[in-house]
């Protein structure tokens, strides 16, 4: 009986100190597994990292792609196809969060050498 009480106490303590960032970590992992690349049918951008969160009640998705030089394949990427992909990702996040807010999605290029480059930003 003491062991059951101790386990219950410890479990309750873990749940009390668990914060919402853990749920976003799980959501980020799920998005990264589902969305490994952006593709318009001919051009591909490999997704390196996805950050998801909510700031001031505005949900956001930050997608990071990597390249060795320049802007990679972004210049050749069909921007209308990207808008459809971003809209689908925003809808998926809204559904998961139970939200009706527009989702801010940023696409950032993280080159091996140099500063990060903002490729696209918009609300979907």
Q: What is the pLDDT of residues 17-30, one digit of tens each?
A: 444 556 788 889 99
Mean pLDDT of 83-110: 94
DSSP alpha helix (H) spans, the chain:
2-17, 20-34, 79-97
- Domains (range + CATH), the chain: 19-123 (3.30.70)
In degrees and rounded to multiples of 5, residue 73 shows phi and psi of -95, 5
The reported pLDDT for the residue numbered 102 is 96
Q: What is the pLDDT of residue 66?
A: 78
Which pLDDT belongs to residue 80? 96
CA atoms of 51 and 46, how far apart (whole Å): 15
Average pLDDT for 42-68: 90
Cα dist from 112 to 19, 49, 71, 80, 90, whole Å: 33, 14, 11, 27, 28
pLDDT value of residue 103: 97
Is the pLDDT assigned to residue 13 strictly greater than 50? Answer: no
Per DSSP bridges, beta strands 58-67 and 104-111 are parallel
Q: In the predicted model, what is the mean pLDDT of residues 15-44?
A: 79
């Amino acid at each position: 009986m003491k062991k059951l009480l101790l386990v219950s106490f410890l479990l309750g303590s873990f749940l009390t100190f668990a914060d919402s960032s853990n749920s976003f970590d799980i959501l980020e992992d799920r998005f990264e597994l589902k969305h490994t690349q952006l593709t318009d049918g001919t051009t591909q951008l490999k997704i390196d990292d996805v950050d998801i969160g909510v700031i001031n009640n505005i949900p956001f998705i930050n997608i990071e792609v990597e390249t060795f030089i320049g802007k990679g394949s972004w210049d050749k990427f069909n921007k209308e196809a990207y808008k459809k992909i971003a809209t689908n990702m925003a809808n998926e996040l809204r559904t998961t969060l139970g939200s009706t807010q527009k989702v801010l999605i940023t696409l950032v290029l993280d080159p091996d050498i140099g500063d990060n480059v903002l490729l696209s930003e918009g609300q979907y």
